[in-house]
Structure 1
Amino acid sequence: MRKHGWIAVAALVAFSLIFAAGTPCLAQNIYDRVEKAGVVRAGLMYNSIPAAYFNENNEWVGFDVDIAEEVIKRIGGYMGKTLKVERVKVNNKTRISFLTSGRIDMSTANMTHKRERDRTIDFSITYFFDGQKILAKKGRFAKLEDFVGKKIASMQGTTSEKNAVNLLKKLGDPDAEKNVISFQDEPSCFLALKQGKVAGWSTDSTILIGFAAKEPGEYELVGDFFSDEPYGIGVPENQSDWRDAINFALQDMWVDGTYMTIYNKWYGPDTPYYFPMTEKIETWP
């Protein structure tokens, strides 16, 4: 082979190695890797009450935490072994990118299953049903129309941000895009509301309920739901074995009652975050 031929082959090999190194989630079957390594890397929020947050004892707790750990426990049972859970902090900006980069194996992180997101990652069946509302200081607003011309906080780059803009436009606010103020995370949104920098904060209702419970009697949800937010566990694309295992675990949890035990622990009538269950988990024969 001539010199130029060898150079071309070497370049092709080098490119292939770089590409493979940069796409770890495509280079391996996650189910097989988990079965061999015995570890699952679960992406979880860390400041979203009561889904996943650090409590007063600095313990990482919440509905999503319990769901993720139970799912992983059951997948281990299917494999005939005990799996270790490696918790990885994610936020609204990293909960998808960590999946596509291979940093985590699953993302249980307040994530609405949207067609737009489905172009990048895959989702489990819906494991939680929520909707978007607006939180405000108690007694200030009676209905959604009262927020026209007012500032509303939302989290940057989220479904909630887009929904809030669309709501104001629908209600006739000519400055809808300017009146939705973006913040990096949920605590920043709540602080802005508390300090009077915004009139309301809009995101999924259970998140709002969680933060309002920190100061009982000071805040209230205004108006009806104006979006549907079906949550799914995010997984890397084209990992059907792994997604099936997660789906089977969720379904088995529903059938034997474990799901509702976890749900009532965090959202039941005896909690500060009461949110009645509105739908059942999809199950297959």
Structure 2
Amino acid sequence: MRKTRIVALAALVVMLATSLAYAGPTYDRVMQEKVCRVGLMANSKPAGFINENGDWIGFDVDIATELCRRLGVKIEKVQVNNKTRVTMVQTGQIDMSLANMTHKRERDKSIDFSITYFFDGQKFLVRKGTASSWQDLVGKKIASMQGTTSELNVRALLKKLGDPDADNNVISYQNEAECFQALKMGRVAAWSTDSTLLIGYAAEEPGKFELIGDFFSNEPYGVGLPEDDSAWRDAINFALQDMWQDGTYKKIYDKWYGPESKWAFPLTDEIELWP
């Protein structure tokens, strides 16, 4: 019995040591293992998606790849979605998340964020010629993605515009593809989310869809990071700022959102630069 207890105690010590080693600062572990696990979308054009050849590409993919290159580590791409991206950072399944994630105070209670690396805003996508203003959508069914700030924003806007049944008129779907399908099939009058996502899907069927109205929210994207690891957060922030200053960021941006791209979207602001 005594021997069994000693063996059990020894096993517990080993497990605890392993757990503590794994739970150390993200920066130290990534630098030691030389691998960074990055959460990315796989169906969000043009931020992160799988193309017809099976390649995982997009703006966020290129930004993440460049960040890892500058940190001297190998990128390991991990698929996330709107529901899993925060949890996977919290639980240590990924080391950072570049996944259309607006930096909100509520989210900051759970994870940390980098400086803003992308600037977007929310709009409506409609079938061409069916609506020209926000008011045209009052009382209509609007698609949005479940568990996102977009869902909350569109509900609040409809209430402000006087829609008495705004809560029921916002129809929540699991992902972007389902929202777009609902719009194409006429199950909803519009789809509302960040404008670059809408541009990405509208580009799949040129001339059939259009964005209407101005931005009705600001959506500053940040890199989602584990809590309380300033060395890791600084490393990401410094790399982002260096990419901006040496022109790499603009090169990547123009590849996906420049005037000659399929998803043209003017750069609306500058990232925060520290002296």
Fold shared by both chains (TM-score > 0.5): yes
Q: Secondary structure at the match of 2:46?
A: coil
Deviations, residues 195-216 of structure 1 (Å, cap 9, x unaligned): 0000000000000000000000
Q: Scaled by the length of structure 1, what TM-score is found?
A: 0.90
Residue 35 of structure 1 and its aligned partner are, at CA, apart by: 1.1
Residue 151 of structure 1 and its aligned partner are, at CA, apart by: 0.2
Partners of 2:213 and 2:116 lie apart in 1 by: 25
Residue 57 of structure 1 and its aligned partner are, at CA, apart by: 1.0
2:61 to 61, 65, 69: 65
Deviations, residues 70-89 of structure 1 (Å, cap 9, x unaligned): 0111111xxxxxx1111000
How many residues were matched structurally?
267
Q: Secondary structure at the match of 1:168?
A: helix
Counterpart position of 1:37: 33
Are the aligned partners of 1:24 and 1:102 in contact in 2 as well (CA < 8 Å)? no
Identity of aligned residues (%): 64
AA at the equivalent of 1:127: Y
1:226 to 206, 216, 231: 216
Matched, 1:201 2:191: yes
Matched, 1:54 2:44: no
Counterpart position of 2:116: 126
Are the structure 2 counterparts of residues 34 and 163 from structure 1 closer, same or farther at C-alpha, using a change threshold of 3 Å? same
Q: Scaled by the length of structure 2, what TM-score is found?
A: 0.93
Residue 162 of structure 1 and its aligned partner are, at CA, apart by: 0.2
Q: Secondary structure at the match of 1:157?
A: coil
Give ranges in structure 1 of 5+ residues lacking alignment.
Answer: 1-9, 77-82
Counterpart position of 2:268: 278
AA at the equivalent of 2:198: L
Q: How does 1:177-216 map to 2 (within 5 A)?
A: 177-216=167-206
Are the aligned partners of 1:161 and 1:180 in contact in 2 as well (CA < 8 Å)? yes
AA at the equivalent of 1:92: N
Runs of 4+ in structure 1 deviating by more than 4 angstroms, as ranges, are none
Q: How does 1:1-285 map to 2 (within 5 A)?
A: 21=19, 27-76=23-72, 83-285=73-275
Give ranges in structure 2 of 5+ residues lacking alignment.
Answer: 1-7
Q: Secondary structure at the match of 2:211?
A: strand
Partners of 1:176 and 1:237 lie apart in 2 by: 35
Give the RMSD, CA atoms, in angstroms. 2.0
Are the aligned partners of 1:150 and 1:179 in contact in 2 as well (CA < 8 Å)? yes
Deviations, residues 102-131 of structure 1 (Å, cap 9, x unaligned): 000000000000000000000000000000
